Amino acid sequence: MRSMPTSSPGPSCSRSGISIGDRIKKRMQNWLHIVAGVVMAGLLCWGITRTFESDLLSRLSIESDHTGSSPALHQKLAGLSTNLPGLSSETPDNGNVLYDKPGFELHVNRSYKLRPRISDWDDQRRKWLSKNPHKKPTATGKPALFLVSSSQPSPCDNPMGDHFLLKAIKNKMDYCRLHGIDIFYNMAQLDPAMVSFWVKLPLVRAAMVAHPEAEWIWWMDSDALFTDMAFELPLEKYGNYNLVVHGWENLVFEKKSWVGLNMGVFLMRNCQWSLDLLDAWAAVGATGPLKIQIGKFLTSFLSERPENFEADDQGALIYLLNAEKERWRSKVYLESSYYLHGYWIKLVDKYEECIRKYHPGYGDERWPFVTHFVGCEMCSGETNAKYSAEKCRKNVERAFNLADDQILQIYGFHHQSLQSSNVLYL
């Protein structure tokens, strides 16, 4: 099934769910005795989180799945869900058999679920949109985009890191202002189970639920900068897709390469399919003893993935796309015709040539849309050994200035050079 094009009224997104009635029953039996044990402890935690959640949800008049019903509570505590087929459900999760190398078997942390639980988001969102028709399209009539990014709540370890983050958020604000895109920059730790690369999952989910008017949630890493301020996403291409990410089919599905796509920048349609993907994805990343095992599994499953590297969102998504192809693949658009994400090493030395030969608006080789400083770790200062901190610093400045010149010219100024923070009248 394909989702309707974005021009059709109301939200749309299709799922190819698998019937799992029998498996659920079997798992229910297995879980029954565990449930009894955790119910008491769970009730306490649940009471606390429920209050917070229902507050958020009632403010938005959005219903989550477990509104007070005790069967739903039991399911929640048991980590069961009626609408989510598991990754490998033949063997019950007993906490022992965690790592199955052959084929596509991987035991994930199914006791973890992102909140709020919602299974009828498409309906809820459609209703909301029909009640708030003025909220839907942007001024330009295009499907509404909502950009989210985030950084840690505490100061950076590297003294230059905070200055860099400031520049990076200014850069995003500039792009969003020019293109009428709403932006949310988060600095709070939303979910203790979703740390480091995984913070984007609860954040993207929260943004979807809080912004039913947004058709697309656009995630962008804090270390990715817009370098083409004129380029606009070709959203009309993505009418049949729910996830758009920079990558290549052959690398993801044939080579199963860890770098076959990059999760630093992606678009996710605001729909139930996406909430389901986030759930399946989060199960691979939830903090806990499984994380190391899953990391080992991903390294054995994928090519070009480092050894001794804990489960990461990028590896997990490539795994999911391969292991559950029927469920996800048809809705994922791997974009490589422009730099939705652009690896900085390949781009930064070409900036002068871009300026000499072209102009902003192409987004591709001629003038890259996004330059992503992968591995520079500007905030932590733990720069990947492959690059020198100096090279990172210098090129971040160049990328920033390349973008900033496109803004400053509106006000009649430009940078003396890409290396310089000094500006001159045009």
Ligand X SMILES: *[C@@H]1O[C@H](CO)[C@@H](O)[C@H](O)[C@H]1NC(C)=O
Q: Does 109 bind ligand X (CB under 6 A)?
A: yes
Report the C-alpha gap between 271 and 242 in whole angstroms.
8
Report the C-alpha gap between 362 and 49 in whole angstroms.
46
Which one of residues 85, 288, 375, 381 is an interface residue with ligand X (CB under 6 A)? 288
Restricted to residues 163-222, the positions that interact with ligand X (CB under 6 A) are 193
Nearest residue to the partner ligand X, using Cβ: 288
Q: SS3 of 379, please?
A: coil
Which one of residues 244, 286, 318, 403 is an interface residue with ligand X (CB under 6 A)? 286
Amino acid at 16: S
Q: SS3 of 151, please?
A: coil
Question: Within a 10 A sphere around the Cβ of 140, how many other Cβ atoms?
Answer: 10
As a whole number of Å, the CA-based R_g of the chain is 22
Which one of residues 9, 95, 155, 412 is an interface residue with ligand X (CB under 6 A)? 95
Span from 233-241, 288-296, 300-308, 334-342 in contact with ligand X (CB under 6 A)? 288-296
Report the C-alpha gap between 421 and 414 in whole angstroms.
10
Burial 207-236 (b: 16+ CB within 10 A, else e): bbbbbbbbbbbbbbbbbbbbbbbbbbbebe
Q: Does 81 bind ligand X (CB under 6 A)?
A: no
Question: Within a 10 A sphere around the Cβ of 363, how many other Cβ atoms?
Answer: 23
Count of residues engaged in binding ligand X, rule: CB under 6 A: 10
Minimum gap (Å) between residue 141 Cβ and ligand X: 42
Q: SS3 of 332, please?
A: strand
Minimum gap (Å) between residue 34 Cβ and ligand X: 13
Minimum gap (Å) between residue 192 Cβ and ligand X: 7
Smaller CB separation from ligand X, 232 or 310: 310
Annotate 74-142 with DSSP letters as a single string.
Answer: HHHHHT--SS---SS-SS---SS--B--STT-B---TT---SS--S-HHHHHHHHHHH-GGGSS-TTSS
Which one of residues 287, 322, 330, 336 is an interface residue with ligand X (CB under 6 A)? 287
Q: Where do we find the tokens 């029909």?
A: 130
Smaller CB separation from ligand X, 311 or 378: 311
Q: Give the pairing of strands 216-220 and 145-150.
A: parallel
Span from 81-89, 259-267, 281-289, 385-393 in contact with ligand X (CB under 6 A)? 281-289
Give Cα 257 to chain centroid, integer Å. 19
Span from 177-185, 280-288, 329-337, 407-415 in contact with ligand X (CB under 6 A)? 280-288
Minimum gap (Å) between residue 23 Cβ and ligand X: 20
Span from 106-114, 384-392, 393-401, 410-418 in contact with ligand X (CB under 6 A)? 106-114
Minimum gap (Å) between residue 32 Cβ and ligand X: 19
Give Cα 212 to chain centroid, integer Å. 17
Q: Does 112 bind ligand X (CB under 6 A)?
A: yes
Smaller CB separation from ligand X, 38 or 60: 38
Minimum gap (Å) between residue 79 Cβ and ligand X: 9
Which one of residues 9, 289, 306, 412 is an interface residue with ligand X (CB under 6 A)? 289
Q: Round to the nearest angstrom and report the end-to-end CA distance of the chain.
A: 54
Smaller CB separation from ligand X, 289 or 306: 289
Smaller CB separation from ligand X, 112 or 121: 112
Tokens matching residue 69: 């019903």
Smaller CB separation from ligand X, 286 or 316: 286
Amino acid at 321: L
Minimum gap (Å) between residue 104 Cβ and ligand X: 20
Phi and psi, residue 90, nearest 5°: -65, -45
Q: How far is CA 212 from CA 10, 148, 186, 282, in A?
A: 10, 14, 18, 22
Residues binding ligand X (CB under 6 A) = 95, 109, 111-112, 193, 286-290
